[in-house]
Structure 1
């Protein structure tokens, strides 16, 4: 769902179950050419909020990217560019646990910030692809851990390649991993460096 751009309505006190999932769509092969960003806020295993913003990438749209996400130049003609929304995004994500499905979105946010002359966002990043690989190793070689396949395996409902929908899906992947392994969101921040079995109870 779309929402007018502004600061977060409420930043909760620290909650070890809480995180924000983020996803971006880009106008072309340049990872910094963000044309849509989506967010999904989770806490205590539940979806709290889910929204997306269109972004003017200040560059061209490739036919290949349009074919993936359906966003065209006309859709973003009156949207703000990254320089105009960076502060709002940074206020939302800084010092938070932030989930993205692969490192693509983290790279995109960094490149967009750099192009706008802004500092990179200092968040505690979690890669839901890596989490899924460790929580559901049986999927390796059997469809893999992309959102498209996890949608079927985990029974997720979302429209792929819409930033808001994909952010929500990435969050549900993490919640499914928490349920399957007993490893909390806070523990997943360090699980990449330890065997999953160490966290099981």
Structure 2
């Protein structure tokens, strides 16, 4: 059934974005929340204690749950042909990586990043603070974080508010969200690009990167809008862990930066841990899609 738009949110078992352990899908039609669907998923992978502390899902809770392949026909029926919304690119990348890993057919749909919509609708979120929790509080939207269906519903409600405020439809936002953020002044090549996919993120690298040098990774991240920092602080929002080190993450030999990030996450700081492959997918692959969308104007 065709919807105005459908919102997807995922939770993962560990730092590998393909380790999906929960799926939440909220459908919106005629400006209202129309229906919901959710499922726990057995990722057939290990659960990192840090991820468990965030969403409360562990091996015991998913032991009798279906695998992603078993519920994939249902997911396809809800997403196929629709505008599919995710808040930041990570959920769509997680679905893409999980589908590639399990050799599942890609879903034909149009993706819309609601975080990019937020940054272009409310000036107070242009630079930072456009996570679901902050925006929901600002718009007085009731929200309980880190449940896939709740996250999906909240992102959909935020998009409805943005559509109402801007007068730009979901279809038109597919184009507008790919256009640069209008910021005054000029930026040098050494500063984060304000129209980058990940503008506002503060990124730290740790571990041995297998496919690029740290200099190359930092350059790519800056072009995508990230501030690249040497150390982990209260401002850190992304930690990129070299794939060679991720293979040891089942419990041991994590770097000092990695351990510090986990401590901050346990204290409530919203930091996302990415593998090197997921970092490349988030920045390099997604940039291709945005470039294709640019050229048209709303």
TM-score normalised by the chain length of structure 2? 0.59
Which residues in structure 2 correspond to 1:49-88 (within 5 Å)?
A: 49-88=35-74
Alignment gaps of 5+ in structure 2 = 183-296
- For the Cα contact (< 8 Å) 1:109–1:120, is it kept in 2? no
Provide the residue aligned with 1:20 in structure 2.
Answer: 6
Provide the residue aligned with 1:8 in structure 2.
Answer: none
Provide the residue aligned with 1:7 in structure 2.
Answer: none
Q: CA deviation at 1:123?
A: 1.2
Instruction: State yes or no: 1:32 paired with 2:12.
Output: no
Q: CA deviation at 1:100?
A: 0.5
Q: CA deviation at 1:72?
A: 1.1
Instruction: State yes or no: 1:155 paired with 2:137.
Output: no
Determine helix, strand or coil for the equivalent of 2:115.
Answer: helix
Determine helix, strand or coil for the equivalent of 1:102.
Answer: coil
Query: Whose Rg is larger?
Result: 2
CA offsets 1:103-156 (integer angstroms, 9 cap, x no match) = 100001011111111122221000000000001122235x61000101110111
Summarize the Cα distance change of 1:55–1:128 in structure 2 as closer, same or farther, 3 Å threshold: same
- For the Cα contact (< 8 Å) 2:5–2:82, is it kept in 1? yes
Provide the residue aligned with 2:90 in structure 1.
Answer: 104
2:149 to 158, 164, 175: 164
In structure 1, how many angstroms separate the alpha carbons of the residues matched to 2:178 and 2:16? 31
Over the residues paired in the alignment, what is the CA RMSD in angstroms?
1.7
Q: CA deviation at 1:193?
A: 4.1
CA offsets 1:50-90 (integer angstroms, 9 cap, x no match) = 23110000000000000100011111111111111122211
Alignment gaps of 5+ in structure 1 = 1-10
Highest RCO, 1 vs 2 (Cα 8 Å, sep ≥ 6): 1
2:170 to 169, 172, 185: 185
